[in-house]
Amino acid sequence: MDVPGNRRGDGPRLGAQEQTAGVDRRALLRGVVAGAVAAPVTGLWTAQTAHAAPAPFDVLVGDVTSGTIYQFARNKPFTRANVKWSFKPSGGHPMEHRVRDTVADGRILLIATGTRDGGVASIRRRSDNKLLWSASLGTYLHAIERAPGTGVVVVAGRSRGPAPGGDGGATPGGKIYVYRRTGSSSSTLVKAQQFDFHQAHGVLWDPHLERMWIIGGSVLQAYRIVTTSTSAKLVADPERKIKVTRGHDLQPDYTSPNRLLFTDTNGVYSYDKAAKKVTELYGRRKVKSFVRHASGEEMWTGASDGGSAFGTKWVHFNTAGARALQIGSSPVIYKARIVDPDFV
């Protein structure tokens, strides 16, 4: 059984409470991001939070334009001089890039890249960037996740071909690919299952419910992982199925293990696992990634009307404004991830 490193315990992480008093957060995010995604975000919060020092954490961003993944300290400008690590994977646009801890391989980087003609899912050992495993697949890959213990890896890909409206939500197609280990290392992964999932965009392991969440098209669905010595498959949990509109991203809420954060074309939402209740956090459209750090700080990326369907050059924060990727010509960030191997 894998034992993820640097665990913070089974209880909720200690962090700032949501700062809601006197602030219409939904209107603020809608107005600032929709109207100023091509410029720095300032004044997003009132004086309540303006004085708070941003938490020190690292961020992974994927530049669609150059096909490069960069790691930066959140509190420094996203310039070439401040790059802590970078890598240009094969397979096209960097759609997913997250770190996980394993017993056999140490810390790994999960990568999903893609184009309209296909994509590549890969796993690299973080210490030396050694390629442990990869698979070339026939859909536009958008996400990859690994479940500890079983070592099962799940990859999500939306349909091939042009993307009507910029996000392909109306295009038929999309698949989920499931891989199982035949040994202790991720290098021994083999395909175990494949099934259709309309416009599959996001995947996230939930260690508290022990479910693999998948979002895309019109649904957010949780799955159990059922394994034997020679097989692995996802089985849908009928009690955990939520209707969405062109689902995009899935992330943990690092301030509470009981909350799951997700985005679709119309907004940003929180899902209370105990109450099985969805709450809209923001009505901002086209948010491509959204996460809440253990400190309470929120980080997101998003696209703007008339701009790239993938996003902009900005990573937004609810304290101290935003960071622009200042490398190369016309960079475009799809997702920003906190460099944290923990699932919540």
- The per-residue pLDDT for range 202-246, each reduced to its tens digit, is 999 999 999 999 999 999 999 999 999 999 999 999 999 999 999
Residue 4 has pLDDT above 90, yes or no: no
- Confidence band for 252, pLDDT divided at 50, 70 and 90: very high
Q: First CA to last CA across the chain, in angstroms?
A: 19
Q: What value does the mean pLDDT take over residues 14-32?
A: 34
**pLDDT value for 146:** 98
- 25-338, CATH topology level: Neuraminidase (2.120.10)
**pLDDT value for 159:** 86
Residue 306 has pLDDT above 60, yes or no: yes
Residue 47 has pLDDT above 90, yes or no: no
**pLDDT value for 319:** 84
**pLDDT value for 161:** 59
Residue 241 to residue 3: CA distance in whole angstroms: 29
Residue 152 has pLDDT above 90, yes or no: yes
Question: Which tokens go with 210?
Answer: 């022990």
- Confidence band for 288, pLDDT divided at 50, 70 and 90: very high
**pLDDT value for 27:** 36
Give the neighbor-by-neighbor strand order of the sheet with 58-63.
85-87, 68-73, 58-63, 333-338
Residue 211 to residue 3: CA distance in whole angstroms: 17
More confident of the two residues 46 and 86: 86
Residue 72 has pLDDT above 90, yes or no: yes
For residue 50, what is the enclosing H or E element?
helix 47-50
The letter for the amino acid at 285 is: R
- Confidence band for 17, pLDDT divided at 50, 70 and 90: very low
**pLDDT value for 54:** 84
Residue 196 to residue 70: CA distance in whole angstroms: 32
User: To the nearest whole percent, how much of the chain has pLDDT over 70?
Assistant: 82
What is 174-231 written as a DSSP string? EEEEEEEESSSSGGGEEEEEEEE-TTEEEEEEETTTTEEEEEETTEEEEEEEEE-SS-
Contact (Cβ atoms closer than 8 angstroms) between residue 155 and residue 176: yes
Residue 267 has pLDDT above 60, yes or no: yes
Residues 6+ apart with CB under 8 A from 217: 169, 174, 197, 198, 199, 200, 244, 246, 247
**Among the ranges given (37-41, 90-94, 304-308), the one the predictor scored with the smallest mean pLDDT:** 37-41
**pLDDT value for 52:** 63
Residue 263 has pLDDT above 50, yes or no: yes
More confident of the two residues 10 and 194: 194
Nearest to 322 by CA among 102, 129, 38, 11: 38
Q: Across all residues in the chain, what is the average pLDDT?
A: 86
